[in-house]
Structure 1
């Protein structure tokens, strides 16, 4: 009987975690919350179309990055900075900087958001595709 209760409890916990994670990582939920967090930090123009690599990167970005950095990398007030910003131009933060940030995390240094933790579950290839997406967004907004 105790084992059945534990299995049932584990199922309830799993469903609750899934619901919480789904709500937090919903990339369409970029409106500011009641505590003033979550609103987009920049407005951007979208490229007319994305390359095949950037399309793959967009999918990976939405799965792993949008929960903090917002839909289309516009940042979120009180959460994380926009990646479509002059600070992240290729000459200041090269592609390897993104690779290292994902793999090891990064100490906060440009923005008052605190440290970024490492992101689990992404390969270097995944990050390369995400960077392709971010770079195309940047280019569409005059950041080269």
Structure 2
């Protein structure tokens, strides 16, 4: 076989390999990137699974919190902040701050959304489960 044929065949093989690798990598990257929902303030990656407590918390969050804080705690533009955000990491806003926010409301201090009213119809046990859900979302998104 001529050296030019070997070189041409090698270049073709490398080119095809690159095209295939790039197509697979691009598809994989697209699948791992969440799509920012309309009105959401942050992208939120979802955990592969939730503990039983966090599963109950998701239900509670969807019923009592999502209307303002958005689906999967991604926030809602002009309404309420995302809870999957470094500001709400456990070292800055511990679990008790979620209990107090639900029971007493919150005066605006980190964001320009206005005050949060108390949340009616949730018990401290409900809030603990909702917090477990929020913490699971935060961990999945690198907020520990």
TM-score range, shorter chain: 0.7 to 0.9
Partner of residue 133, structure 2: 133
Partner in structure 2 of residue 42 of structure 1: 42
Question: Alpha-carbon deviation of 1:102?
Answer: 0.3
CA–CA distance in structure 2, aligned partners of residues 77 and 60 of structure 1: 22
TM-superposed CA distance for 1:44, in Å, is 1.2
In structure 2, the residue matched to 1:87 is 87
TM-aligned CA deviation for residue 136 of structure 1: 0.2
- Per-residue CA shift, 1:53-79, capped at 9, x if unaligned? 000000000000000000000000000
Query: Which residue number corresponds to residue 108 of structure 1?
Result: 108
Q: Within 1, Cα distance between the matches of 2:64 and 2:75?
A: 14
Unpaired stretches in structure 1, ≥5 consecutive residues: 1-29, 32-38
- Structure 2, unmatched stretches of 5+, are 1-36
Matches of 2:64 and 2:85, distance apart in 1: 19
Distance 2:94 2:108 in 1: 17
> Scaled by the length of structure 1, what TM-score is found?
0.74
CA distance in 2, matches of 1:76, 1:82: 7
Alignment partners' CA distance in 2, 1:46 and 1:54: 12
* Counterpart Cα distance in 2 of 1:142 and 1:117: 29
Runs of 4+ that moved beyond 4 A: none
Q: Tell me, in whole angstroms, the C-alpha distance in 2 between the residues paired with 1:45 and 1:130.
A: 17
Aligned equivalents of 2:50 and 2:95: distance in 1? 18
Q: 1:98 maps to which residue?
A: 98
Higher Cα Rg: structure 1 or 2?
2
- Name the count of aligned residue pairs: 108
Superposed CA RMSD: 0.7
Richer in helix (by share)? 2
TM-score (normalised: structure 2): 0.74
